[in-house]
Each structure stands twice: as structure tokens, then as C-alpha cells.
């Protein structure tokens, strides 16, 4: 009987992305707009040459789409209301953290949201 092949555990991925200090310092205020609902379009289209701003703008766009999805799902009585209520609270907390971290010059790969945001080719 052949021996079972064991798989090693996945190494933790780095949660920080590096950007140039000048890019971060010059664009952190406009990048913070990314997490304020529909204002995510301002940095998304205004600062196309800033990797730092685009990183946050794409995550902000994903959160904005999440807000709209919850709004539509919230139309469903009882279950939809509850999911929308708790989902909106979660997205509000994530948005506040996103603004705070962006203003501090950090790049936070938000769990689940970051993976979706990588799909945007804008």
C-alpha cells in the first residue's frame, strides 16, 4: 500500500503591499475617499497613475457594490432585513477602518474584498 502524501500547511501570505513613500504621501487623502460609498469613483478615475490610490479605489468600489447588493437584498422581508442590517454594519466598520488605515499610509488587504477587487481592470 503506498504511503499517503501529506500536504504542508499554507504559509501565511503577507497582508501589506509596498508602495513608494512619495506615492503614499501624495495620495493618501484622495485614496481615503475610496471607502466613502460612491466617492470611490473620484480616486478611481482621477489618480490612474497612482498604485496606492488604485489599490484602495478598487477595494472601495467592491465595498460600494456590496452596499448596493445589500440594499437590493434588504427588500426581502425579515431575512433580507436582518442580513442587510448586519451586513451594513459590517461594511460600515470595514469602511471606517479603510479610511483610517489609508490616512495612516497603510495598505490593508481586506479579507474577501481584496480578492474580489483584484478582478477590476479599470
- SS3 of 56-71: the string is HHHHHHHHHHHHHHHH
Q: In the chain, what are the domain boundaries?
A: 21-62+89-117
- Residue 59: all three cell numbers together: 477595494
For 37-89, the pLDDT digits (tens) are 899 999 999 999 999 999 999 999 999 999 999 999 999 999 999 999 999 99
Predicted pLDDT of residue 19: 86
Task: Give the global pTM.
Answer: 0.78
- Tell me which residue of 64, 72, 71, 68 sits closest to 98, measured CA to CA: 64
Mean pLDDT, range 89-114, rounded to an integer: 93
Mean pLDDT, the chain, integer: 86
Backbone CA torsion sign across 30, 34, 37, 41: positive
pLDDT at 11: 37
Amino acid at each position: 500500500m503506498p504511503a499517503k502524501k501529506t500536504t504542508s500547511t499554507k504559509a501565511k501570505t503577507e497582508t501589506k503591499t509596498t508602495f513608494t513613500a512619495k506615492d503614499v504621501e501624495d495620495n493618501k487623502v484622495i485614496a481615503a475617499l475610496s471607502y466613502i460609498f460612491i466617492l470611490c469613483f473620484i480616486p478611481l478615475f482621477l489618480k490612474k497613475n497612482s498604485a496606492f490610490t488604485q489599490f484602495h479605489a478598487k477595494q472601495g468600489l467592491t465595498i460600494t457594490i456590496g452596499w448596493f447588493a445589500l440594499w437590493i437584498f434588504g427588500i426581502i422581508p425579515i431575512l433580507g432585513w436582518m442580513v442587510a442590517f448586519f451586513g451594513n454594519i459590517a461594511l460600515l466598520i470595514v469602511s471606517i477602518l479603510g479610511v483610517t488605515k489609508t490616512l495612516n499610509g497603510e495598505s490593508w488587504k481586506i479579507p474577501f474584498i481584496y480578492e474580489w477587487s483584484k478582478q477590476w481592470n479599470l
